Amino acid sequence: MKFILSVILFKGSLLSAYSQVDYHEFKERYNLSCRVPDSAIIVGNQQLMDSLSSLEVVSGAEEFYYDHAWVYYMRYMKWKNKTDLQKAADIWEEGWQEYDCLHCLKSIAGIYRHLDDCTKALDLTELYLEEVPDTDEVDYKEIYMRYRRCRGKE
């Protein structure tokens, strides 16, 4: 019985590797929080997002990249492992490169300050300020604090 189940799961995973997905259909399964959530919620979110990352997200890709990276940022906030922070930066960078996702760009800049790479943090912050439309609201206090914390660390 285990063998049959394994074969079915393996075949299913092969088929799904070539599948497309609309992220909006899965969004309700993602437990989003601005506070550091329970460990089980973080792990559940990570499993969902990592599974979806093996598929081609055809709708909601910007939101997917942002949420996927947010899972790893929450992992960092919970367990203080800097590899999770780097993983979040990598995912947000991919979202910026692939989809010009400004939320991803803004987040990358903040992450690199936490990774003690102030040069990259400030370069990405300047790029964000150049790219953000005049109609979008910018949190200049956050930008100021990033510069202030990076002063002398470049």
Phi, psi (rounded to 5 degrees) for 140: -70, -25
> Does residue 42 lie in a domain region?
yes
Tell me the C-alpha distance between 112 and 49, whole Å.
22
* CATH number of the domain bearing residue 71: 1.25.40.10
Q: Residue 153 pLDDT > 90, yes or no?
A: no
Domain around 100: 22-150
Q: Three-state DSSP class for 56?
A: strand
pTM > 0.85? no
**Nearest in space to 103 (alpha carbons), one of 81, 131, 83:** 131
Residue 18 confidence class, pLDDT cut points 50, 70, 90? low
> Does residue 85 lie in a domain region?
yes
Question: Tens digits of per-residue pLDDT, 83-103?
Answer: 999 999 999 999 999 999 999
> Does residue 73 lie in a domain region?
yes
More confident residue, 154 or 151: 151
Number of residues that make up the chain: 154
> Does residue 109 lie in a domain region?
yes
- Please state the rounded mean pLDDT for residues 106-121: 95
> Does residue 57 lie in a domain region?
yes
> Does residue 108 lie in a domain region?
yes
Q: Of 5-19, 43-57, 108-122, 127-141, which gets the smallest average pLDDT?
A: 5-19
Number of domains within the chain: 1
Q: What is the mean pLDDT of the chain?
A: 88
> Does residue 29 lie in a domain region?
yes
- Please state the rounded mean pLDDT for residues 102-124: 95
> Does residue 17 lie in a domain region?
no
- Please state the rounded mean pLDDT for residues 60-65: 95
Contact 92, 104 (CB under 8 A): yes
